[in-house]
Structure 1
Amino acid sequence: MNKTILITGSSAGIGKAAAQYFAAKGWNVVATMRSPEKETTLTELSNVLVTRLDVQEKADMQRVIAEGIKRFGKIDVLLNNAGYGLFGPFELATDAQIKQQFDVNVFGLMHLTQAILPHFRANKAGTIINVSSMGGRITFPIVSLYHATKFAVEGFSESLAYELSALNIKVKLVEPGAIVTGFDGAANFTGNPDITDYDDFVKGFLELWGSKTQERTTAMQVAEVIYEAATDGTSRLRYVAGEDAKELHGIRMSGEEPYHAYMQKHWMPAHV
C-alpha cells in the first residue's frame, strides 16, 4: 500500500509543491486548502484528494482526517505547512493581527497535530513534519510576531519529539530560508498612519531585505527537503532548506556576540 501524506496550505507555495512532489513519487496526498473550488492542477491527479481546511477552524480537522483515511486507508505523515508572515513594527499591531498570526502559525498546527495523534497511536507509527523557518532560530527586524510563532513551533516540536518517540511517532522540523513563493509580498503589515516614527526604519529594512534575498530557494527545493525528512528513516529533528538559512544558522551557532555583530552590520538600515 502506498503511503499517504496530509498537507495543509496546499493551494500555493511550499504546500502545493510538496503535494505535487509526493504525488509524483507515488504517494497518496490529502491536499487541504481554504478554497479547494479554485484548485485546478492537483484535482487532476488520481492519487490526490483535494479538500477544504482552514487551520483556524478546529471543528473541521476530524472530518479531513476521516476523509483521508476513507479514501486511502490510513495517513502516514502530517505536514503542517499552512502559515503566513506578519511584517511591521510590533507597537502598531492590532489585537486581531496578533491573534490571527498565532491562530494560523501555532494553534492551528497544534490542533491538527492533536487531532491526528490517535490515528498514529493506533497504527503505532507516524511522522509529523512542521514547516518552521530559519526565522525559528534567528531573527530580523520588523518581523517580531512571525518570529515569535516560529520560535514557538521550534520549542513545541522539539519537546513533542521526545514524548512521542516511545510510540514510534517521529516529529521533524523543516527550516526554509527566503523562498520564491510571494510569501513576503502577500504578507500582512502592521501600521498606523498617525505614527510615522518607524517609517524610515521600515523602509530601510525592506530595501535591505529585497537586495539580500534576490537568489531564493524555490518551493520545489523545499519540497525535496520535506520528502527527505519523511523518508530517511531517521530520528533527525531539523532539516535546513536554503543556503541563506544554512549560513545564518552557522553564524548564530558561532556565539551570541558574533551573531549580533553580524546582524548589526548587515541587516540594520544604514541611516539608523
Structure 2
Amino acid sequence: MTKVVLITGASSGIGRATAELFLDEEWTVYATARDTDDVADLAEHDGCHAQELDVTKPAQCKTVVDDVVETEGRLDCLVNNAGFGQIGALEDLPTRKLHRQFDVNVYGPHRLIRAALPHMREREDGTVVNVSSVSGRVSTPGMGAYSGSKFALEAMSDALRGEVEAFDIDVCVVEPGPVDTGFGERATAELDDIDATGVYDHVYSLYEDYVLVSGAGASDPSEVADCIVDAAVSPDPPARYPVGRAGRLGVLARFVPDRVRDKLFGLAAKFA
C-alpha cells in the first residue's frame, strides 16, 4: 500500500524539494502552505494534494491531519518544516516578535504532532521529522529568538522520541547548516518593523557578514530533502541528521567551551 506523508511549509525551498522527492519515491504527498496557490503546481503531479495550512491555527492543524487519515486511511510520516527566522538583538525584539517566532517554529510542530500521534499510535507505526537547524545546537549573537525556537524543538524531539518508542514511532531531527533558500533575505526583512536601540550595530554587522559568507557554502534544498526521506523510509533512523559541511561542523561547535566561543564571537564582531 502506498505510504502517506504530510509536509508543512511546502511552498518553496526545503519543503518543496521534500515533496518532490517523496513523489519520486511514489508516496502520496499532502503538500501544505498558508496559500494553496503556492503549492498548486505540485498538486498537478499524480499522488500530490495541495492543502491550506497555517500552523498557528490549532483547529486547522487537527482538521488537516484528520482529513488526511480519513481520506487515505493512514499517515506514515509527518514533516514539520514550516518556519521562519527572526533575527535581532534580544533587547531590540518586542515580546510579540518572540512569541510569533515560537508560535510558528515550536507551537506549530507541537500542534501537528498532537494531531498525528493518535493515528500513528493506533497503527503502531509512523515517523515524525522535525526540521531544525545547526542554530538549534549553537546560538550566536543576533540569533537568540530563532535559536531559542530551534533549541526548544530539539528538546521536545528528544523527549518525544522516548515517549513514543513503545509505539514503534520514530522521531528524527534534521539539522541543516546554511541552505540556498533565501532564508537570510527573509530573516533580514523581519527587522523592518523593529525599533532598534542603535547600540547593537556590531551584532547586525556580524549577522550581515554571516549571511554573505554562508551563502558561498550553502547546501541545496535537495540535500536536506534526502535526509528527510531517508528518515521516513529507514526502519531504524538516527535521532539527528546534520546536513552539509557547515551543518556538521556547526553542530560540533557546541563542544567548544563557552568562554572560547564568546571570545571568538567578540573577535568576529570587532572585524565586522
TM-score, length-scaled by structure 2:
0.93
**1:99 and 2:88 equivalent?**
no
- 62-71 or 88-97, larger mean C-alpha shift: 62-71
| Uncovered stretches (5+) of structure 1, i.e. residues with no partner | none
Find the counterpart in structure 1 of residue 27 from structure 2.
27
CA contact (8 A) 2:2 2:28 kept: yes
Offset from partner CA, 1:131-178 (integer Å, 9 cap, x none): 011001011210101111000011110011011101111111000100
Find the counterpart in structure 2 of residue 164 from structure 1.
164
CA shift for structure 1 position 257: 4.9
CA shift for structure 1 position 271: 4.4
Offset from partner CA, 1:88-131 (integer Å, 9 cap, x none): 11111122211110100001111110111110111111111100
Q: 1:102 to 1:12 in 2, by over 3 A?
A: same
CA distance in 2 between counterparts of 1:204 and 1:82 reads 26
Which residue of 247, 251, 256 maps to 2:253?
A: 251
CA distance in 2 between counterparts of 1:232 and 1:84 reads 28
CA shift for structure 1 position 13: 1.1
CA distance in 2 between counterparts of 1:67 and 1:217 reads 34
Find the counterpart in structure 2 of residue 210 from structure 1.
212
Find the counterpart in structure 2 of residue 78 from structure 1.
78
Find the counterpart in structure 1 of residue 2 from structure 2.
2
CA distance in 1 between counterparts of 2:243 and 2:9 reads 18
| Uncovered stretches (5+) of structure 2, i.e. residues with no partner | none
Q: Which contiguous aligned blocks of 4+ residues in structure 1 show a shift greater than 6 angstroms?
A: none
CA shift for structure 1 position 58: 0.4
SS of residue in 1 equivalent to 2:199: coil
**1:138 and 2:138 equivalent?**
yes
Count of aligned positions = 269
CA shift for structure 1 position 65: 1.3
SS of residue in 1 equivalent to 2:186: coil
CA distance in 1 between counterparts of 2:201 and 2:261 reads 26
Structure with the higher fraction of residues in helix conformation: 2
SS of residue in 1 equivalent to 2:252: helix
CA distance in 2 between counterparts of 1:148 and 1:135 reads 8
- Partner amino acid for 1:224? D
SS of residue in 1 equivalent to 2:174: strand
CA shift for structure 1 position 240: 0.6
Find the counterpart in structure 2 of residue 66 from structure 1.
66
Offset from partner CA, 1:180-232 (integer Å, 9 cap, x none): 00112112126315x21122431243124312442200111100011111112
CA contact (8 A) 1:18 1:223 kept: yes
Identity %: 32
